Amino acid sequence: MTQLSVNINKIATLRNARGGNNPDVIKAALDCERFGAQGITVHPRPDERHIRYSDVIELKKVVTTEFNIEGYPDNRYLKLIRETKPAQATLVPDGPDAITSNAGWDTVKNKSFLIEIVSTIKSYGVRVSVFVDPVIAMVEGAKAVGADRIELYTEPYASHYHQNQEAAIKPYIEAAKVAHQLGLGINAGHDLDLNNLKYLHDTIPHLDEVSIGHALICDALYFGLENTIQLYLKQLK
């Protein structure tokens, strides 16, 4: 079964909008686990507009499922990974002013940089996933820099899903096949929701994990967090 990792950034965004500690990010993460999520994802950004670095430290103390920390691998991120040693570090190419991730790494152009970063993180005993577009050269590049997994950037799939499902998924199938042949694990994330997740799961081979935050938290406003997580898990069966 493909694992569901819940990105709790938006819960922190809501907390930060008012100040104080409501909703409680730590409690929310524990509840996500209790409701069936097999992982918790966070993406701390330099301005701490949602998840704070202090949140990550506290979450590591209590999260018992797979803890995944996304981010651009600057010195502060690397220090955080070294101190917390999550199950997985997902490297994204976002600049500090990015609202959300909007492209994968050019693993060919950034080969030397990524080799050093991946090697450093793996020396901490942490699995490394590299965020990539569904392009075979980028997948091959992820293997070349020493990554353990790729995370396929699925916004293009989600954007074109309602127009032509087969065309939207085709590059992801091809990228996943190559990744599997190279011995890479396969994650996916970005704009996945209750409409497009099942088709992605049923069509992409060897999918290890999906990371979902924004849509899941939006759905939870209507369905409740526990029921929403169960609805997402149902799509992955």
Catalytic sites, residue numbers: 43, 70, 190
Residue type, 74: D
Q: Alpha helix locations (H) across the chain?
A: 9-18, 25-34, 53-62, 75-84, 111-122, 136-144, 155-160, 165-181, 197-203, 214-223, 225-235
How many angstroms separate the CA atoms of 37 and 18, rounded? 27
CA distances (Å), origin 134, targets 141, 194, 230? 12, 21, 28
Residue with tokens 């901490």: 124
Q: Are 210 and 5 in contact (CB under 8 A)?
A: yes
How many angstroms separate the CA atoms of 72 and 95, rounded? 7
- Residue 173 neighbours by CB distance under 10 Å: 15
For residue 172, which of 147, 195, 146, 197 has the smallest C-alpha distance?
197
- Residue 113 neighbours by CB distance under 10 Å: 13
